[in-house]
A = this chain, B = another copy of it.
Amino acid sequence: MPVGDPGAEKETNMSKNERTPMAEVKISGEELFCGRVLSLHKDTVSLPDGHTAEREVIRHGGAVCVIPYDGQGNIWVVEQYRYAVAQTMTEIPAGKLDSPDEPPQEAARRELQEETGLTCDKLIPLGLYLGSPAILDEKIHMFAAVGLHAGRPHPDADEFLRARSVPLEEMVQATLRGQIPDGKTQCAVLRLRAMLDRGLL
């Protein structure tokens, strides 16, 4: 089989002909922790071949992120210390849904304003971002915000942020050099660049 022949395919641990369903089915499970931000579950699942396996799963209420674009080549980012990774990160504005039922667009407008003070005329949905789907069910709804208007930030009491405007191209180059570790920010910056290059925005 030629390497890279489009359509070339290899199936492993399954019959090539019958296209065994890949789903894992929950047999039993327990909630080990339920906290303010996340809950932890340990489930036993049945595998496609009938064997069983254990899955450690973190459940999260969902979140949004927004790349604010000013239409003149600049975006807004925030610098924020992330305790989990013990570093100050450069990220696009983001935050949790207030409840699982909150419309993502509403959450996106709220987080944008809280963290940067900005309001926007339009939110463009960019689809979902799943940061670590092997262990974490967190779904982040990604948006681009355009038609920006300045305002006054009002972050949560335990949030310490610096918001700033930065040329998109500077962020693209930093991303390509591997200097932007935050995954959703890498995605959003490259998405915006590709959309602009292709006349999709």
Contact = CB atoms under 8 A, between A and B. Distances in A.
A56 B182 CA distance: 19
Contacts of A86: 137
A10 B116 contact: yes
A48 B83 CA distance: 12
A175 B192 CA distance: 12
A88 to B, nearest CB: 5
Question: Chain A contact residues (Cβ within 8 angstroms of B): what range?
Answer: 35 or more
B72 A4 contact: yes
Give the secondary structure class of A's interface.
mixed
A126 B139 CA distance: 24
A172 interface: yes
Contacts of A1: 150
A28 interface: no
B186 A191 contact: yes
A127 to B, nearest CB: 2
Given A131-B132, A164-B7, A194-B193, A43 B83 contact: yes
A110 interface: no
A28 B52 CA distance: 38
A139 B200 CA distance: 32
A201 B194 CA distance: 17
A26 B32 CA distance: 23
A17 interface: no
26 contacts: A9-B162, A10-B153, A10-B163, A11-B162, A12-B160, A13-B161, A22-B79, A22-B80, A22-B160, A23-B81, A32-B32, A36-B54, A38-B56, A40-B40, A40-B58, A53-B158, A55-B84, A58-B136, A128-B178, A129-B186, A130-B181, A133-B181, A136-B136, A176-B191, A183-B183, A197-B197
Given A3-B150, A3-B165, A6-B167, 9 more contacts: A7-B165, A12-B153, A38-B56, A47-B160, A51-B158, A60-B135, A89-B133, A126-B178, A172-B194
